[in-house]
Structure 1
Amino acid sequence: MTIPLPESFALTLRGYDREQVDERIDELLTEIRLLTADRDAAVAEAEQLARRLEQARSDNAALRARADRLCRTPADPAAVGDRVRHLLELAHAEADGVVAAARQRAAAIVGEAEETAARRLEDARARAAHEIEHARRRVEYLAATERRTAGRLRKIDAFLAEAAELLEEDTPLHAVA
């Protein structure tokens, strides 16, 4: 993005008013630094959320692998008595319920993390866009002020030139009664 610079600065006897130019550049640099800091903070926050999301996905994968491993090596109900077989069936049913609940919870955590990351990223983008728009309006305002000031200075210079010409003429001045 380019920031429009003023069309001209106030003229002095030897060129542009250096102090006015330096102040203008300092203002623009300050606004750019603020916008850059806001952008960097938003990017850092998005990266942190992405890391948290990746960690949640990794934890979810580890839990799934553990649950799958436990479910693949059940005790053989045929090798035990009826009462133990019934207890094993109840334990398998309960384990299936725990695994299903864990998967649902992991999916909910991942979904929530993704939504939070997306929302914060969108908020950061909106804040950055707002700050950029504010800076653009400020630049336009300052440029317009500078143009008005330059126009006034040109009128003053013309008036002073005209006054100097009148003073250089040898025509005596008459008192006005």
Structure 2
Amino acid sequence: MTAPLPLPESFALTLRGYDREQVDERIDELLAEIRLLTADRDAAVAEAENLARRLEAARAGQAALQARVDRLCRTPADPAAVSDRVRRLLELADAEAAGIVGTARQRAAAIVREAEESAGRREADARARAAAIAEDARRRAERLAAAERRTAARLRAIDALLADAETLLEQESPLRAVA
């Protein structure tokens, strides 16, 4: 996240108030910064959504692999049709396969849990960053609006002072002509 742009203490005064070009440039700079912050927030939200889609794809892949493991673990031969020695070998192979499948399931579950936790953390981080960016943009917009209101009030006060000065100058002109 970028640091807020510092606001100038005051704008340069011209004959009839503040330099409007300078004020317009400053407002343009602040609006550009707000657009950048909004883009950063949108990118963070998009990243969170992408991670959520990847998590769903991983879950679907895990389900497909689980179905395949279940299908492969079915006993391929009928133990009644083979001799005792082959039957014993089939039982040992079946027990070993069950152990391998159990270990694979545990590993798959651990990987899924880890992926879900990681995706949850990244999504929470992205949402927190997006909220912070949005809050920063809101605060900057409020400061900009307040600065604009103060500037407008100052301009009105200066215009009033100038009008009073012009009135005083107009009132003094006839007196000078008499003297």
TM score, norm. by length of structure 1: 0.72
Aligned residues: 158
Find the aligned partners of 1:83 and 1:138 in 2 and give their Cα distance.
81
Q: Which moved more, 1:17-26 or 1:108-117?
A: 17-26
Find the aligned partners of 1:48 and 1:137 in 2 and give their Cα distance.
29
- Cα drift, residue 106 of structure 1: 1.7
The corresponding residue for 2:138 is 136
Find the aligned partners of 2:152 and 2:143 in 1 and give their Cα distance.
14
Q: Is the 8 A contact 1:49 1:113 kept in 2?
A: no
- Cα drift, residue 29 of structure 1: 4.5
Q: Is the 8 A contact 1:42 1:124 kept in 2?
A: yes
Q: 2:34 aligns with which of 23, 31, 49?
A: 31
The corresponding residue for 2:86 is 84
Q: Is the 8 A contact 1:53 1:113 kept in 2?
A: yes
Q: 1:52 aligns with which of 41, 51, 54?
A: 54
User: What are the Cα deviations for residues 99-126 of structure 1, in whole angstroms up to 9, with x where unaligned?
Assistant: 1121222222222222222222221111
Aligned to 2:77, the other structure's residue is in SS state: coil
Q: CA RMSD in A?
A: 2.7
Q: Mind listing any 5+ residue stretches in structure 1 that lack a counterpart?
A: 1-11, 173-177
- Cα drift, residue 28 of structure 1: 2.2
Q: Mind listing any 5+ residue stretches in structure 2 that lack a counterpart?
A: 1-14
* Pair 1:119-2:121 in alignment: yes
Question: Residues 134, 73 of structure 1: CA spacing in aligned structure 2 closer, same or farther, 3 A cutoff?
Answer: same
The corresponding residue for 1:66 is 68
Find the aligned partners of 2:52 and 2:141 in 1 and give their Cα distance.
35
Question: Residues 33, 46 of structure 1: CA spacing in aligned structure 2 closer, same or farther, 3 A cutoff?
Answer: same
Find the aligned partners of 1:83 and 1:40 in 2 and give their Cα distance.
64
Q: Which moved more, 1:25-34 or 1:82-91?
A: 25-34
- Cα drift, residue 84 of structure 1: 2.5
Find the aligned partners of 1:28 and 1:87 in 2 and give their Cα distance.
76
- Kindly provide the amino acid, as one letter, of the partner of residue 74 in structure 1: P
The corresponding residue for 1:20 is 23
Q: Is the 8 A contact 2:38 2:133 kept in 1?
A: yes
- Cα drift, residue 142 of structure 1: 2.0
RCO greater where, 1 or 2, for CA within 8 Å and sep 6 or more? Answer: 1
- Kindly provide the amino acid, as one letter, of the partner of residue 74 in structure 2: R
Q: 1:171 aligns with which of 160, 163, 175?
A: 175
TM score, norm. by length of structure 2: 0.72
